[in-house]
């Protein structure tokens, strides 16, 4: 089950493009995989590359398309749903506070989705396994990254 919010993802990408300071604030906590839409994943990779150039002051559609081509992202325009969708992202008027809100929504939804999926995987493992109880406990602890209790 995917609990992520594609509208919030679009707004976050837009905000990261409009407000470079927010990109640098949140970049350590974001990965392309935080976005469920392949077009937004690609756009995040593209703007991350663009922001590596410390002289960048403006990200426009031409720069995005050029970097997408440079990074050899196949069918970037099609992933985004056309050039008009790229223009839509660039036309959103968001404040820095909006970016903060959308970051929280996107990151929370990604974490919830991962927890939900991992819980289902663990449940299926526990229901279907023939492993002994010690192996089950160790596998569950490893999966949840829980330290082993010392007795």
DSSP 8-state code for residue 147? P
pLDDT digits (tens, 9 = 90+) for 26-66: 999 999 999 989 999 999 999 999 998 767 778 999 999 99
Report the SS3 class of residue 150: coil
pLDDT digits (tens, 9 = 90+) for 59-110: 999 999 999 999 988 889 998 988 899 999 999 999 999 999 999 999 998 8
pLDDT value, residue 94: 95
Distance CA 133, CA 26 (A): 41
pLDDT value, residue 99: 96
Q: Report whether pLDDT(1) > 70.
A: no
Give the residue among 17, 22, 88 at the shortest CA–CA distance from 57: 17
């Amino acid at each position: 089950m995917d609990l992520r919010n594609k509208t919030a993802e679009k707004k976050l990408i837009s905000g990261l493009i409009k407000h470079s300071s927010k990109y640098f604030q949140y970049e350590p906590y974001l990965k392309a995989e935080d976005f469920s839409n392949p077009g937004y994943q690609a756009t995040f990779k593209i703007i991350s590359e663009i922001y590596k150039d410390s002289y960048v002051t403006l990200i426009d559609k031409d720069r995005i398309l050029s970097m997408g081509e440079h990074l050899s992202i196949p069918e970037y325009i099609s992933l985004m749903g056309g050039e008009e969708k790229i223009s839509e992202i660039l036309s959103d008027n968001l404040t820095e506070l909006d970016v903060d809100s959308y970051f929280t929504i996107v990151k929370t939804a990604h974490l919830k989705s991962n927890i939900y999926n991992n819980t289902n995987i663990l449940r299926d493992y526990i229901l279907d396994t023939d492993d002994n109880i010690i192996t089950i406990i160790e596998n569950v602890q490893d999966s949840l990254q829980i330290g082993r209790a010392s007795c």
